Amino acid sequence: MAIASADFDYIRKLVLNRSAIVLEPGKEYLVESRMLPLLHSEGLETIQSLVGQLRMGGSRNGLSDKVVDALTTNETSFFRDVHPFEALKKHVLPDILEKNKIKRELNIWCGASSSGQEPFTIAMILKNDFPELNNWKINFMSSDISREMLARCRTGKYSQLEVNRGLPAMLLVKFFERVGTDWKVKDDLLKMVQFREINLSEPFPPIPPVDIMFLRNVLIYFDVEMKKSILGKIKKVLKPSGYLFLGAAETTMNIDPAFERLPLPQSGCYSLKG
């Protein structure tokens, strides 16, 4: 099912306008593969017919939202890449807890929830490894552009295959409960995270000054100017003592000189200079 160039251009402009994510020429295969389940669910046979529906007012029935969701949702897993979470546990959180010990408040923001494995991984680390935080005020926000993904995050439900990917058995038993053939995050952990719809390309809503921000595997989808814009906004909400986690293939180098990479192996961890 090869996509016509005109249909690809229409979809890539839709995604760019709605999310600022750039689909370069050569990504036709991605559009084709991501649209296939949507075609089935909408009872459409071709991408051409899908684009036809969009041109006739797909925003009114939510079709354009579904297209953007399909092309902006990225694969994730619990404890993905391991090293960032080791840095969080061994260096970042102990440092923040020491600096904030008088106020006893911790502000965390995950900027791309996807299906929720990353924020729940962080929440498990907080609960399991830092019991002293039970007496702290924790503001933990996780955001995404996809309403469908946010709705799924709020349920906290995962398949057996999903919990098999990266989640230690001890933590599965401690923080999840069996629901039929699936697993559900227990309520005390689920309530730790507030899921909100935020488009990173737009002005940020009011946010408490952030101690720790995760924005892993997100910037790679934006052009340089949008990367500069997003990092510029992060500078304004990140505390001077705060930490920013980016993906392994991402960097602030030659984009924003205000950040410096920390010598924490394979963590993708940055702080503000000075």
Q: Is 19 exposed, middle or buried (0-12, 13-18, 19+ CB in 10 A)?
A: buried
**In whole angstroms, what is the distance from residue 86 CA to residue 92 CA?**
9
Domain count along the chain: 2
Same domain, 51 and 94: no
Same domain, 226 and 130: yes
Q: 101: helix, coil or strand?
A: coil
**In whole angstroms, what is the distance from residue 98 CA to residue 177 CA?**
33
The mean pLDDT of 253-260, rounded to a whole number, is: 96
The pLDDT value recorded for residue 106 is 98
The mean pLDDT of 29-56, rounded to a whole number, is: 90
* Residue-wise pLDDT tens digits, 102-115: 999 999 999 999 99
Q: 235: helix, coil or strand?
A: helix
Which of 250, 255, 257 lies closest to 267 in space, CA to CA?
Answer: 250
Residue 78 lies in a domain: no
**In whole angstroms, what is the distance from residue 188 CA to residue 21 CA?**
35
The pLDDT value recorded for residue 68 is 87
The answer to which of 75-79, 90-94, 106-110, 260-264 has the lowest mean pLDDT is: 75-79
The pLDDT value recorded for residue 45 is 87
The pLDDT value recorded for residue 74 is 72
Structure-token match 């719809």, residue found: 197
Among 72, 95, 124, the domain boundary falls at 72
In this prediction, residue 47 has a pLDDT band, given cuts at 50, 70 and 90, of very high
The answer to which of 60-74, 79-93, 197-211, 220-234 has the lowest mean pLDDT is: 60-74
Q: Per residue in 101-112, is it b (16+ CB within 10 Å) or e — as a string?
A: eeeeebbbbbbb
Among 32, 51, 72, the domain boundary falls at 72
**In whole angstroms, what is the distance from residue 147 CA to residue 43 CA?**
21
The pLDDT value recorded for residue 81 is 92
DSSP character at residue 7: H
pTM attached to this predicted model: 0.88
Residue 77 lies in a domain: no
Residue 217 lies in a domain: yes
**In whole angstroms, what is the distance from residue 243 CA to residue 213 CA?**
6
The answer to which of 9-23, 28-42, 56-70 has the lowest mean pLDDT is: 56-70
Structural domain boundaries enclosing 24: 5-72
In this prediction, residue 179 has a pLDDT band, given cuts at 50, 70 and 90, of very high
Angle between helix 5-19 and 47-55 (nearest 10): 50
* Residue-wise pLDDT tens digits, 102-155: 999 999 999 999 999 999 999 999 999 999 999 999 999 999 999 889 999 999
The answer to which of 55-69, 139-153, 183-197 has the lowest mean pLDDT is: 55-69
Same domain, 55 and 132: no
In this prediction, residue 274 has a pLDDT band, given cuts at 50, 70 and 90, of confident
Q: How many H helices and E strands in the chain?
A: 12, 10
The pLDDT value recorded for residue 229 is 97
- State both tokens at 73: 């949702």
Residue 61 confidence (pLDDT) above 80:
no
- State both tokens at 268: 């993708």
**In whole angstroms, what is the distance from residue 129 CA to residue 68 CA?**
37
CATH of the domain at 160: 3.40.50.150
**In whole angstroms, what is the distance from residue 256 CA to residue 22 CA?**
20
The pLDDT value recorded for residue 208 is 94
Residue 194 confidence (pLDDT) above 90:
yes
**Helix extents (H) in the chain:** 5-19, 28-42, 47-55, 63-72, 83-87, 93-99, 117-129, 147-155, 160-164, 169-175, 187-190, 224-237
